Amino acid sequence: MAYASVAGLLSLGMIGSAAADACQTTGTLAEAVGTVLVDKGQGFTPGVVGASLKGGDKVAVQGPGSAVVDFGNDRTVTVPSSTTETLRVPGCGVALDNSTGLVIGTVAVGGGIAAAIALSNNDSKNGIIFPVSP
């Protein structure tokens, strides 16, 4: 039982590590149409296609136009006309995609079942007993 708990915790740790790595990814200003400005923490400067950007940087599009920041693996951020956005790397934060949510849900359910089995056994020789409230 202890092995199942440790395996579950290690799985969650690996998922967290992969998510943290994805959040540290730098992106590239892939498209700049119109007047595009970038602020990496030292004030706005003209956005140049190919510039390296990361989460927390700001991209502003003044008037008509747009900007696209590519973080790889089909993760892009589009900034529309007359907008200033602080970049968030797609897939970071509390939002989960379907596969990540499924893995976390499966680990949580498996951990709950393992805990129920461990707590209900109580060293009895009668097998596994699941307590049911009246």
Cα R_g (the chain), whole angstroms: 23
Asked whether residue 65 is assigned to any structural domain, the reply reads yes
Read out DSSP for the chain?
A: -HHHHHHHHHHHHHHHHHHHHHHT--EEEEEEEEEEEEESSS-EEE--TT-EE-TT-EEEEEEEEEEEEE-STT-EEEE-TTEEEE---TT-SS---HHHHHHHHHHHHHHHHHHHHHHHHTT-SS--------
CB 9 within 8 A of CB 110: no
Asked whether residue 134 is assigned to any structural domain, the reply reads no
Asked whether residue 131 is assigned to any structural domain, the reply reads no
Asked whether residue 7 is assigned to any structural domain, the reply reads yes
Q: Check residue 23 and give its pLDDT.
A: 76
Two structure tokens written together for 49: 């296609």
- pTM, two decimal places: 0.56
Residue 3: pLDDT over 70: no
Same domain, 101 and 116: yes
pLDDT digits (tens, 9 = 90+) for 61-101: 999 999 999 999 889 999 999 999 999 998 887 544 455 55
Same domain, 68 and 113: no
Q: Check residue 8 and give its pLDDT.
A: 47
Same domain, 17 and 43: no
Q: Check residue 10 and give its pLDDT.
A: 44
